[in-house]
Amino acid sequence: MLDFKLSNLAVVGAGIGGCSAAYFARKHFPDMKLTIYDSQERIGGRILTCKVAGRPIELGATFFNRINRTLLDILKTEKLETTPFERMNFAVWNGSNFVFRSNKESLTTFLKLLLEYRFSLTRTYLLLRKVSSQVAQLYQEERKNPSDMLQIFESTLIDKWKRKTFYEALKERNIGQAFIDEIATPITRIIYSQNEDIGAFAGLSSLIGIYSGETYSFAEGNSILPIHLAQASSATIKMGKKVDAIEKTPKGNYRVHTENDVMVFDNVIIAAPLEIANIKFDGLSLKRCGAQPYQSVYRSAMRGVFKPEYFNLDNSINFPNTILTTKETGPITQYSIQKASHTESVVTISSTEPVNRTIFTDIFKNSPVSIFDHYWKAAYPIFKPLSRLSPTRIDKGLMYLNAIEPMVSSMETSVLSAKNAVRMLLAEKLE
């Protein structure tokens, strides 16, 4: 047990990053006073689960995989129940027809991909092996040394991917245009709602997430994770409390201002995009690389009798439950089709623009029933090549978890960044 105490910590943001930060802080500092602020009235941030016909539908972060070591460590420690993410019976739609269809047998799908795209597939796998090796080294470096994530990216050479687009990274390895258009880009569209001009590491991470083996989600829906972590931290949770300003005092601690309250903290972890959080900083100099734009995403779901003819499918054909799209289809990046009963299905559409309701009229044989419409103002960063990243440490005792988001954004990177930020605070106290 450490022979000093960190008396209190404020966490700004109750998404997966903020709740993870509170969780790890409690592990290191059992007697600490923890306070979590969030402008919304719910815990979860960009993780949100909706139950439809008794089954969870993820409106935000969808799955994680076996290489997400930080998440897996939490699951093991907290004994949270997971379920294998349903193996996608997927197809790729170009607006007129399917350019690729999977098989429920993984080996058959692989052989179809190999037959269709040949060396492009093998070159992609070799590239992903290289990147996966760098990610494995990142975990080793992070565990040995709680440095700024910016420095860990540099030491593992992950940093080099930030300077180019996904398209450039693939073309450098002679990966064919058909594979880029019909497989790689539809995957970045379903993961990040962006095309092949996405930043290289975000694009490569999308492929790794899909092709790294079995994927998982939480049995009760992914929203259970941030809620559980917040509860496990025993933090005071102030929902609906927007942090308006953070002020550094002459003593080196921080005043956190909300509309009706001011509290003083030894340390503060910001776990919300500064572009959205709109926090004023007083007595602080932020070393930032400019404002980060964010991608808006619209998600809508309706229930009714699905009409396979919309996708030129015969009624007798077992239709795919996930339909990816090429960039020619425009703003719609994904269709998800789930059976709700013997006769009815739930169709969920993701789009970068508001969904035209007439699409649902065409997709269903009858008049469909609306289930939900959800708008993410800032679902993900818009990933572009970068000259540099901002550091996690804004000042001593003040951390910014979203600093790495211009390069990559996921449940795992949020949790990893939170873990590392808390360890950096610990290292400061040991200096």
pLDDT digits (tens, 9 = 90+) for 136-159: 999 999 888 778 999 999 999 999
At 302, the amino acid letter reads: M
Same fold, 8-48+221-292+389-430 and 86-108+294-381: no
Residue 246: enclosing H or E segment and its boundaries?
Answer: strand 245-248
What pLDDT does 240 receive? Answer: 97
What pLDDT does 17 receive? Answer: 98
pLDDT digits (tens, 9 = 90+) for 75-130: 999 999 988 766 668 999 999 999 999 987 888 988 999 999 999 999 999 999 99
Sign, CA dihedral 259-36-412-397, equals positive
Q: How far is residue 341 from each of residues 32, 338, 362, measured CA to CA in Å?
A: 50, 9, 20
Average confidence (pLDDT) over 350-365: 93
Query: Contact, 238 vs 36, CB < 8 A?
Result: yes
Is the model more confident about 332 or about 430?
A: 332
Angstrom distance (rounded) from CA 349 to CA 363: 11
At 95, the amino acid letter reads: G
Domain boundaries in the chain? 8-48+221-292+389-430, 86-108+294-381, 118-211
What CATH number matches the domain at 86-108+294-381, 3.30.70.2520, 3.20.20.70, 3.90.660.20, 3.90.550.10? 3.90.660.20
Is the model more confident about 289 or about 138?
A: 138
The angle at the Cα of 20, spanning 15 to 25, to the nearest 5 degrees, equals 135
- Confidence check: pLDDT of 220 > 80: yes
Three-state SS at 72: helix
What pLDDT does 30 receive? Answer: 92
The 10 Å CB-count burial string (b at 16+, else e) for 109-133 is beeebeeebeebbebbeebbeebbe
Residue found by looking up tokens 């399917």 in the block = 98
Q: Which fold has domain 8-48+221-292+389-430?
A: FAD/NAD(P)-binding domain (3.50.50)
pLDDT-derived band at 252 (thresholds 50, 70, 90) equals very high
pLDDT digits (tens, 9 = 90+) for 171-199: 999 999 999 999 999 999 999 999 999 99
The 10 Å CB-count burial string (b at 16+, else e) for 62-101 is bbbbebbbbbbebbeeeebebeeeeebbbbbbbeeebbbb
Residue found by looking up tokens 């009858």 in the block = 366
Bridge partner residues of 297 (DSSP)? 376
Both structure tokens of 11: 């966490």
Q: What percent of the chain has pLDDT over 90?
A: 77
